Each structure stands twice: as structure tokens, then as C-alpha cells.
Amino acid sequence: MTFDWDVVDEFMPRFWDGVLVTLQALALGTLIAFALGLVWAMAQRAPQRWIRWPVTAVTEFIRNTPLLVQLFFLFYVVPQWGPSMSPLTTGIVGLGLHYSTYTAEVYRAGIEGVPVGQWEAAKALSLSRGRTWSSVILPQAIRRVVPALGNYVVAMLKDSPMIAVIGALDMLGEARQFSNETFTTEAITVVGVAFIVIAYPASLLIRVLERRLVNNT
Amino acid sequence: MMTWDFFTEWFLPGIWITIQVLVYSALLSALVAFVVGTLRTSRFWIVRFLAGTYFEIFRGMSALIFMFWMAFAVPLMLGWQFVPLWSGTLALGLTYGAYGSEIVRGALAAVPAAQREAGIALSFTRWQRLRRIELPQAWPEMIPPFNNLLIELLKGTSLVSVIAVADMTFAGNLLRLAKNESAPIYTLLLVLYFILAFILTRLMRMLERRAKAGVGRAPEKKNGLLSRKLSPSGESMQASTQGAGGLG
């Protein structure tokens, strides 16, 4: 068993490039997932059936099929009749879209956790539908689900190496390229350890958030 | 489009490989989940600590990177290598087993304390208590989250295509390279995965109905044929087994 630290030194500059790309994909993917998820969750509660059903069908389909195949679909099929995107952009869109169907469920759970009395109170005060959502329901619903949303950010971080498969140079992409050029394997080990080093503090942070936001309401 | 030869030569075996990887890694992760999950309720702190460390490491690890590491780094370090199918299965099983251990631990912790105390009063041994009292009551509670995890595992099996296991995603990629026509292939792939997920959900629902009848309870009312929606508390628990947070 050999582990060559010189190889690690040589890999480091490219490792940091990869970290930057991974974090970029994660940040933008999170934005899409959080925003789109809220749209899905609200659409699934829409009074009109023709909105509710297609949205539920689409989100269930996305949620039950692998992200990897969705990325291939976005990368190879969509450009045939739509915009052609760089690997990183495709990855961001794929991650965001896939995880938006998960955050939709989280929002849904949060919305269902708001007592019925709150809806009735909003109705009694004759608030409009928009006001009811924006000032009564969502502030109470989202507060409870922040930790659950945070968990999906970490889950997204762990799925982000998949974008290397369609050619984005994230942490895994850089490690793969470096390993192929130099016939070494230390880079993959470094990236694996890096994931634990990023994910563990993040999980501790989520636990703190959970104690702050969920337990003392 | 797809020729018949290609279909019988690559696609059908690909579906079979996907199912094999799924079954093997599901069995392995069930084993890991029950062993690690039970050990995490042990009364010795060192056992709890070691099992907890296992859980934290694998929950922080990306399954794809672990798979890469097993397939490419381990052979060079140790001088021998797994068959790709097995490095994929092992990586999936160990990772998803860690997620499952949290489900097992949570369900065991949710068994009312009075049940445990009754077992002690009847002077059951620890093992008897676990097997006769705690697990039978915790088991029905585990099935809905296990269902979700199983679907995640099914989706995870597509990763083995990256380390050159000829599963159905691999066959799809091969076909794209050969025919240069990707739309029908990837649509078919997505639909196939969706159908497999549907079948698994139906099977797990059946299992849940049975298990709940065994302890004299009706299953939770669920709407829709497929939707694996959980109750609000179940949802936040689900999020925390897959993500990295704790249950607080």
C-alpha cells in the first residue's frame, strides 16, 4: 500500500479549481432547487385540477428516475431541439431540477404542518390568496423545514460528482483527468476525504439550525 | 432506432444486470442497516461510537466517488481488484446501508420504553428482547422509509455504468455512440427506471400492509398509485437520513 504525498502536492492546484466548480454548481443548483421546489409545492395545492395533476405527474417522474440518466438526457437530447448548454450549466440545471422535486416534498410537509386555524384566520380576515401564502402560511411553513432543506443541500453536494460524467471539471472531474494523465490514484482519495471534510461540518451546522428553528417555536 | 440485435445483445442483459446490482446491494445494505442500526443503540459507548463513526463517514461520502475509489484506487493500493460488478455493489451497499442504519435506529428508539421494561421484567435477555419485542414492533415503521431508500438505491444503480458495468444505462450510452441518436434511448431508459420504481413501490406497499396487520394496525392512508409521500415527520426524517443532518 503506497500513498505518495508528492503526487498530492502536484494535484492540489487543480483540486482547488475543482472545489470552486463544485461549490458553484452546488450554490446555483440550490437556488434553482429551492425556488422551483416552492413553485411545485404550491402548484400541487392549486385549486385547479389541470395544474395539480400534470405537476404531480412530472415531479413524481423526475423524482423516481436517476439523476445520471437525466443529466445524459439534458446533455445529449435537449440540444437537438433546444438550447445547447455547457457541461457545467447542464449539471447545474440537472441538479436543480432533480432536487427541486425533493424540496417540493419538504415544502409540502411544512405547509401541511401549518395548523388549519391559520388558513381559516386568513380567510376570516379576508386576505387575498397571495397575501395568505406570503404573510401567513409560508413564513410559518419554511421556518420548520429549513433543516430538512439543508439536508438536501448536503445530499446535492454528494450527488454533484455526477456532473463529471458529462464532462464538467468539478472535484471528481479534475481528479479523473489528473489520474488519467499521471497514472496515479491519490487524487481520488484526496477528493473522497474532501467530501467528508465538507459534509461533516455542514451536518453539524444543520443540527444547530434544527435546534434553533424547529424545537423552540 | 434500436435494432433487434442490439436490444437482445445489450439492452436486455443490461436490465438484468441492473436488477442484479439492485438485489445484491439491497441485501447488503439491509444487513449493514440492521447491524449498524442495532449497534448504535448498544449500551457500551465504544460500540455506539464505532457504529456512529461508520454512519458519519459513509453519510458524508459521495457514493460515486467511493465507487471510483473502490474500482480504481483500491486495486493499485492492494494489488488485487474486484470484478467491477462487485465494487459497484459493495460501494452502493455500504453507503445505502449507512443511510438505512439511521432508519433502524430511529424506529428502535420509537418503540415505547414500557415495552423494553416489560421485557426486562420478564427477564428476557437483551438479544431476546431485541428479537421478540423491539424489532417486531419497530419493523412496520421502517417499511415506508425503506421504500424510499430502495428507490434511491435503484437510482443509484445507474452509477455502476460509470465504472464500466454493463447495466442498462451503460447499454444506453453504448447505443448512443453507435447510432448517434439519443432521444429515444434516454427516454426509454427513464421510462424503464420509472417502471422499476413503480413495481418496487407496489411491492413495498404490500409488505407494509402485511407487517402492519401483523401488529394489528391499519396502514397509513396514501393517495395515488405511486406517490411515496410521507407524513410531515416522516419527511423530515427521510431528509435527514439521506442528507447529513441528525435527528436533533
Task: Name which residue leads in pLDDT, A176 or B28.
Answer: B28
1.10.3720.10, 3.40.605.10, 3.90.1580.10, 3.20.20.70: CATH of B4-242: 1.10.3720.10
Residue B221, burial from CB neighbour count under 10 angstroms (0-12, 13-18, 19+): exposed
Mean pLDDT over B73-96 rounds to 86
What is the structure's pLDDT at B222? 57
Distance from CA of A126 to the nearest CA of B (A): 28
Element of type H or E holding B223: none
- A80, exposed or middle or buried, with CB in 10 Å at 0-12, 13-18, 19+? exposed
Residue B247 clears pLDDT 60, i.e. is over it: no
Residues B158, B169: Cα–Cα separation, whole Å: 6
Average pLDDT, chain B: 85
Residues 198-237, chain B: which have Cβ within 8 Å of A? 198, 224, 226-227, 229-232, 235-236
Cβ–Cβ under 8 Å, residues A61 and B228: no
Closest alpha carbon within chain A to B150: A64
Distance of alpha carbon A86 from alpha carbon A83, whole angstroms: 10
ipTM score above 0.90: no
In the block, cell 442495532 appears at B38
Taking 50 as the threshold, does the pLDDT of residue A31 lie above it? yes
Domain ranges of chain A: 22-171
Average pLDDT over residues A174-201: 88
Nearest chain B residue (CA) to A71:
B186
Mutation target to probe the A interface, by most A beta carbons within 10 A, among B66, B67, B68, B167 is B68
Average pLDDT over residues B18-27: 95
> CB neighbours of B11 closer than 8 A, spacing ≥ 6?
B2, B168, B171, B172, B175
Interchain contact, B69 vs A80, CB within 8 Å = no
Region B75-96: what's the mean pLDDT? 86
Residue given cell 381559516 in the structure block: A120
User: What pLDDT digit, counting tens, does each position of B125-142 carry?
Assistant: 988 999 999 999 999 989
Q: What is the pLDDT of residues A73-122, one digit of tens each?
A: 999 998 888 888 899 999 999 999 999 999 999 999 899 889 999 999 99
Q: Mention the CATH class of domain A22-171.
A: mainly alpha
**pLDDT tens by residue, B28-47:** 999 999 999 999 988 899 99
Note the pLDDT of residue A186: 85
CA A188 to chain centre: 23
Q: What's the sign of the alpha-carbon dihedral A188, A62, B230, B228?
A: negative
